[in-house]
């Protein structure tokens, strides 16, 4: 009798263990759909690798990019996918190859966007069977209507293969990163999601290369133009008359004061970036600068990242900057600049004529003089523009390294 009882208990525990082990979501491709307040449905794709929450990694898919979530955790039938750099998480209930829940702010749980997700679906926008009316690949002069009545000029880059479409929009402050979608008839649909707010673009086009569309509720028009261009990013931000050098005294994540006058930076070429851990284009910038510094730090060059954050609370700042360092394996110096406000940045750095964009990059020579300032960041989604930026970045550093020190 006892042997039967022991066997039954062992069998029951085995079943429970198996059920618990299988209660994590299916490994592989998923398709999610955000349901916005205005009724718009914004799709996104992600992939799960790993069979338990403790070992799993989640990657958001946008065109060629696989953007890793910060972490995954599970409590019973509730799944949490964190995006630390945006203070966001997906809070989801696990069903049978289904997920339902919301994107929410960790510190503002009332701000949510509901969503559902289905396992095994690899498409983004549903195919309605309508063939594209044309190939809209190319460059475009785009004008976005501002909420305050002012227009913003951008350059649109579209790449179409069949009905599949990838795009990005460049502005003087950066780019819209990887947008992915479809062309159906004379309409197109694009979306992207990396853990912040979901982006959604849609529009119509005609035979003359004219586009009329909306981007997250903002209307825009675009005209095909192979020569479309923006102002020179090296001429938008500069030092005021009377200034040659750039200095500050700001705390690192542990509260230690850092200055360009410190011995570490004397007789060195210094690349100073002004950004924030929450900023998508700053994420792209760190993805370039962190490995670049590892390869070039022995040449007499240093990097300082000045981070402006959503909150000034020391514990919050330490956590945000620490997570950012870990994500990109940052080994250069990082300091806290203050709250993420463009006016506050301009006030903190009075030598600048203005401050237009997170990020902004300053190139400082061995004597402490500012040689060039690059406004914004053209990331990998911009293709040739990104290649050009990397070439110019390296040429500028090489040129500064050749100059004599003090």
pLDDT in tens, 334-392: 999 999 999 889 888 999 999 999 999 999 999 999 999 999 999 999 999 999 999 99
pLDDT at 403: 86
138-224: CATH topology: Lipocalin (2.40.128)
pLDDT tens-digit profile of 157-211? 999 999 999 999 999 999 999 999 999 999 999 999 999 999 999 999 999 999 9
Count Cα neighbours of 111 within 13 Å in the Cβ-side half-sphere: 9
pLDDT at 348: 85
388, 312 Cβ separation under 8 angstroms: no
Fold identical between 28-119 and 138-224? yes
For the chain, the domains span 28-119, 138-224, 249-402
- Describe the strand order of the beta sheet including 28-35 as a list of residue ranges: 65-68, 57-62, 41-49, 28-35, 112-119, 98-105, 88-94, 78-83, 71-75
Q: Which residues of 181-200 are buried (b: 16+ CB within 10 A; e: fewer)?
A: bbbbebbbbbbbbbbbbbbb
pLDDT at 189: 98
28-119: CATH topology: Lipocalin (2.40.128)
Helices (H), 222-313: 280-296
Count Cα neighbours of 216 within 13 Å in the Cβ-side half-sphere: 11
pLDDT at 195: 97
pLDDT at 111: 76
pLDDT at 405: 65
| CATH 3.30.360.10 correct for 249-402 | no
């Amino acid at each position: 009798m006892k042997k039967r009882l022991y066997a039954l208990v062992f069998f029951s525990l085995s079943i429970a263990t198996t059920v618990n082990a299988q209660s994590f979501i299916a490994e592989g491709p998923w398709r999610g759909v955000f349901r916005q307040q205005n009724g718009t449905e914004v799709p996104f794709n992600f992939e799960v690798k790993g069979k338990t929450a403790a070992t799993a990694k989640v990657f958001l898919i946008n065109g060629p990019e696989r953007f890793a979530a910060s972490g995954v955790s599970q409590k019973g039938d509730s799944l949490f996918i964190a995006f630390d750099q945006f203070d966001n998480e997906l809070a989801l209930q696990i069903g049978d190859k289904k997920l339902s829940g919301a994107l929410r702010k960790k510190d503002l749980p009332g701000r949510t966007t509901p969503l559902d997700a289905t396992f095994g679906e690899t498409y983004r926008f549903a195919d309605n069977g309508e063939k594209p009316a044309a190939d809209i690949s190319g460059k475009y002069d785009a004008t976005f209507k501002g909420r305050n009545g002012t227009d913003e000029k951008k350059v649109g880059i579209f790449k179409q293969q069949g009905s599949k479409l990838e795009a990005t929009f460049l502005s003087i402050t950066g780019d819209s990163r990887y947008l992915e979608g479809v062309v159906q008839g004379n309409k197109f649909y694009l979306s992207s999601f990396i853990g912040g707010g979901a982006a959604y673009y849609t529009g119509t086009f005609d035979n003359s290369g004219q586009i009329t569309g909306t981007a997250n509720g903002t209307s825009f028009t675009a005209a095909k133009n192979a020569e479309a261009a923006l102002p020179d990013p090296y001429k938008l931000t500069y030092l005021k008359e009377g200034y040659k050098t750039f200095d500050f005294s700001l705390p690192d994540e542990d509260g230690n004061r850092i200055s360009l006058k410190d011995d570490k930076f004397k007789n060195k070429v210094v690349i100073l970036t002004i950004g924030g851990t929450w900023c998508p284009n700053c994420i792209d910038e760190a993805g370039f600068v962190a490995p670049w510094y590892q390869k070039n730090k022995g040449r007499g060059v240093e990097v300082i990242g000045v981070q402006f954050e959503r909150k000034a609370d020391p514990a919050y700042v330490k956590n945000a900057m620490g997570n950012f360092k870990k994500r990109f394996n940052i080994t250069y110096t990082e300091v806290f600049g203050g709250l993420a406000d463009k006016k506050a940045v301009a006030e903190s750095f009075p030598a600048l004529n203005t401050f237009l964009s997170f990020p902004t990059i300053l190139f400082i020579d061995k004597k402490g003089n500012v040689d060039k300032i690059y406004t914004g960041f053209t990331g990998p989604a911009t293709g040739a523009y990104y290649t050009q930026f990397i070439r110019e970045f390296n040429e500028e550093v090489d040129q500064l390294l050749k100059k004599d020190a003090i």
